[in-house]
């Protein structure tokens, strides 16, 4: 094999790099708190075996086990005085494995971020960062190329590139950055700016690694190539976004999925492909097999890229998981949860975990239901998404918020990773804990939907001023399927559709035929069926007293006599009968609804989990 840059100047298929090192070390019993780089000295056989597996799988480039072997990260383990020894051992280990394989494999000196912030966003000065990178790169003498990877700060990456070029201008340098779910770096830089900055700094190959799965990095690759069409590109995605399952970190993307994307990356202009967190030799072997099966492929021209869908080239974020599931035709299970009235979130997390295990797709977090003082719904969404690993929908009342606060709260929600919002009017303060509290609002629900869909999702605020980048909200609206005045409800529905509502959550229903009749009435009046997903409200009954209360005292809820009689006959077993009624309702609405929106009552979360498991 020729040297890296000569090879990448040819028309051959992409070079195949290795996959994750840390993932495999962890599966071999190494704790995440341990210094993986130190294993070059303390357990070299374990590191060598992983290199060997990747070479056997077909990797043409392997990265040294030196990702965190810089002075700042080693200092945290008390190993900074062994920096040179650890890096040299990493190179020697990789060299011995390559020589034993009798294959032509390139060795890349792996350089990760320093683990500290540099100016202007930290206290470490640029020249100090450059010196730290230079110290490590000097110790990586003898490699075929330097790979600066998983970077989050363009400023830091540029210092690393400069350090490498100052040490050996002829040594090829790869620089790749990692991106968050909104296709930006942690400091907010889009792929186009990243591509230009890395090229200007002198990187020979640029690209992205880590981040999400192959779908996201394919999108980012195209954006980078659009900005720098003459560059060479390196792409190593994670095996999807990590999920915490049973106390373990799991990655969903299988080797077969990577196999299919190998050709997509090649077609999109990648010169080197591989895997990052969660990938294994099996992923690399799958990509090797598909690359070998195609000696040639037509790479997309930049002109072709210009006509790709705007969602791929504008830096717009991928749709929320809820949006993707609805688009794919999946019957969705959403569960509502109320924020706690105090500081404790342990029970909330336990209940959300129960729902996730039962098969719920999304947790809906109410905002001050019944105008009662509770923890911020933003905070609850963040806790649930971070600790449970399930997507949330934020209930977003317009009541009690002026235009200034509405927009600030939207930015806050997006910054916390919340992508689904359910727009409602909200309960009047007169019925809650603080009846004297201000109850003003500047926007009705349809107005807020329009502000989000036609404003924030287009990258501007209410005044038309840029907010820096578009938001990616998936916006829900309220719908009453059994309204006392169907004509008025149809008018409201039309306003919400015109404003841009993406989906609808309904009030609880107990008469599916009546609910379906309303949708038919709308279709007749509008000349076409409702073309947005409807998640039908299901409120499980727990006793006949509960059923009578809802029927007589809660506006908008009508429970048929037959249902109330069933609850009366059930007596002390009302909860069990409520589960049966709820499951029957769900089975009846499945043919025409896109999902259900279940509202637990009296903290009977177990009943909700039972309902989901019964009908999935």
Q: How do residues 197-216 score in pLDDT, each as one tens digit?
A: 999 999 999 999 998 889 89
- Structure token digits, residue 193: 């700016």
Task: Give residue limits of the domains in the chain.
Answer: 4-313, 330-543+578-615
* pLDDT of res. 1: 47
Alpha helices in 486-560, H assignment, sequence order: 486-499, 512-526, 544-553
CB contact at 8 A, 385 and 417: yes
Q: Helices (DSSP H) in 140-190: which residue ranges?
A: 154-167
* Numbers of helices and strands, H then E, in the chain: 25, 18
Copy the structure tokens of residue 581.
């009624």
- 27, 279 in Cβ contact below 8 A? no
Q: Which residue, among 583, 576, 552, 577, has the nearest Cα to 563 in the 3D structure?
A: 577
Please enumerate in sequence order all residues whose Cβ is within 8 A of that of 539, keeping only pairs 6 or more positions apart, or say none.
Answer: 508, 550, 557, 598, 599, 601
Residue 76 structure tokens: 């945290």
- Return the pLDDT at 398: 85
Architecture of the domain whose range is 330-543+578-615? Alpha-Beta Barrel (3.20)
Q: Which residues of the chain have pLDDT under 50?
A: 1, 245, 304-316, 431, 434
Do 151 and 184 meet the contact criterion of CB atoms below 8 Å apart?
A: no
- 150: burial class by Cβ within 10 Å (0-12, 13-18, 19+)? buried
Q: How many Å separate Cα 559 from the centre of its chain?
A: 39
Please list, in sequence order, all residues whose beta carbon lies within 8 angstroms of the beta carbon of residue 311, skipping any fewer than 6 positions away: 318
Q: Which residue is associated with the tokens 């009954």?
A: 541
Q: Which CATH architecture has domain 4-313?
A: Alpha-Beta Barrel (3.20)
Tell me, what's the pLDDT at 304?
47
* Closest by CA position to 265, among listed 242, 294, 245, 243: 294
Q: Which of 507, 586, 16 has its CA nearest to residue 331?
A: 586
Query: Which residue in the block uniquely carries the two structure tokens 């249902």?
Result: 563
> How far apart, in whole angstroms, are the C-alpha atoms of residue 8 and residue 359?
46
Per DSSP, helices labelled H in 244-367 are 255-267, 281-292, 302-306, 310-313, 321-327, 346-358
Two tokens at 194?
A: 């990243």
What's the rounded Cα separation, in Å, for the pair 462 and 458? 11
- By the 10 Å C-beta count (0-12 exposed, 13-18 middle, 19+ buried), 525 is classed as middle
Q: How far is CA 340 from the centre of its chain?
A: 26
- Is residue 475 within 8 Å of 501, Cβ to Cβ? yes
Contact 522, 494 (CB under 8 A): no
- Rounded to whole angstroms, the Cα distance separating 483 from 558 reads 10
Structure tokens at 577: 């009968």
Q: What is the pLDDT at residue 463?
A: 83
Strand pairing category for 272-273 and 15-16: parallel
User: In which element (H, E) is residue 507 found?
Assistant: strand 503-508
pLDDT reported for residue 236 = 96
Q: Position of tokens 């051959």?
A: 12
């Amino acid at each position: 094999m020729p040297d890296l840059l000569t090879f990448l100047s040819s028309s051959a298929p992409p070079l195949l790099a290795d996959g994750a090192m840390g993932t495999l070390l962890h599966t071999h019993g190494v704790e995440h708190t341990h210094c993986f780089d130190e294993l070059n000295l303390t357990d070299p056989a374990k590191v060598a075996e992983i290199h060997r597996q990747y070479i056997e799988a077909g990797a043409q480039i392997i990265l040294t086990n030196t990702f965190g072997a810089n002075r700042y990260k080693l200092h945290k383990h008390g190993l900074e005085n062994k920096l040179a020894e650890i890096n040299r051992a990493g190179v020697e280990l990789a060299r011995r494995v390559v020589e034993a394989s009798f294959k032509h494999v390139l060795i890349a000196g792996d350089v990760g971020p320093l683990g500290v912030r540099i100016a202007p966003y930290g206290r470490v000065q640029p020249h100090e960062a450059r010196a730290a990178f230079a110290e490590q790169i000097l110790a990586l003498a003898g490699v075929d190329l330097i790979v600066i990877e998983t970077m989050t700060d363009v400023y830091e990456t540029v210092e690393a590139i400069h350090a490498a070029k100052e040490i050996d201008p002829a040594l090829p340098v790869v620089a790749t950055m990692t991106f968050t779910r909104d296709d930006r770096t942690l400091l907010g830089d889009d792929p186009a700016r990243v591509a230009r900055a890395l090229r200007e700094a002198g990187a020979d190959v640029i690209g992205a690694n880590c981040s999400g799965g192959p779908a996201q990095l394919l999108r980012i690759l195209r954006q980078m190539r659009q900005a720098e069409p003459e560059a060479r590109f390196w792409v190593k995605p994670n095996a999807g976004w990590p999920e915490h399952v049973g106390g373990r970190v799991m990655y969903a993307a299988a080797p077969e999925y990577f196999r299919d994307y190998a050709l997509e990356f090649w077609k999109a202009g990648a010169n080197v492909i591989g895997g990052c967190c969660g990938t294994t030799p099996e992923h690399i072997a799958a990509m090797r097999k598909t690359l070998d099966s195609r000696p040639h492929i037509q790479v997309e021209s930049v002109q072709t890229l210009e006509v790709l869908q705007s969602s791929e080239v504008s830096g717009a974020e991928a749709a929320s998981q809820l949006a993707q599931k609805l688009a794919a035709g999946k019957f969705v299970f959403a569960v509502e949860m109320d924020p706690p009235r105090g500081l404790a979130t342990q029970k909330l997390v336990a209940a959300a975990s129960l729902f996730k295990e039962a098969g719920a797709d999304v947790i809906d977090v109410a905002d001050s239901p019944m105008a009662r003082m509770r923890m911020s719904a933003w905070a609850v969404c963040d806790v649930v998404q971070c600790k449970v690993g399930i997507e949330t929908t934020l209930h977003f009342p317009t009541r009690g918020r002026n235009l200034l606060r509405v927009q600030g709260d939207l930015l806050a929600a997006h910054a916390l990773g919340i992508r689904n919002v359910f727009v409602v009017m909200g309960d009047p303060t007169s019925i809650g804990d603080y009846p004297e509290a201000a109850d003003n609002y500047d926007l009705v629900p349809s107005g807020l939907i329009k502000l989000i869909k036609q404003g924030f999702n287009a990258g501007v605020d209410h005044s038309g001023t840029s907010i820096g980048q578009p938001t990616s909200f998936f916006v829900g609206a309220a719908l009453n399927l059994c309204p006392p005045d169907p004509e008025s409800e149809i008018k409201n529905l039309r306003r919400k559709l015109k404003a841009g509502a993406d989906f609808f959550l309904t009030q609880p229903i107990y008469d599916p035929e009546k609910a379906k009749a309303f949708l038919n009435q709308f279709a007749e009046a509008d000349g076409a069926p409702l073309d947005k997903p409807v998640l039908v409200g299901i409120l499980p009954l727990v006793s006949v007293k509960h059923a009578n209360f809802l029927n007589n005292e809660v506006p908008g809820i009508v429970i048929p006599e037959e249902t109330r009689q069933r609850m009366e006959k059930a007596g002390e077993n009302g909860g069990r009968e409520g589960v049966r009624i709820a499951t029957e309702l769900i089975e009846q609405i499945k043919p025409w609804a896109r999902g259900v929106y279940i509202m637990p009552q009296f903290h009977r979360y177990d009943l909700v989990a039972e309902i989901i498991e019964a009908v999935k």
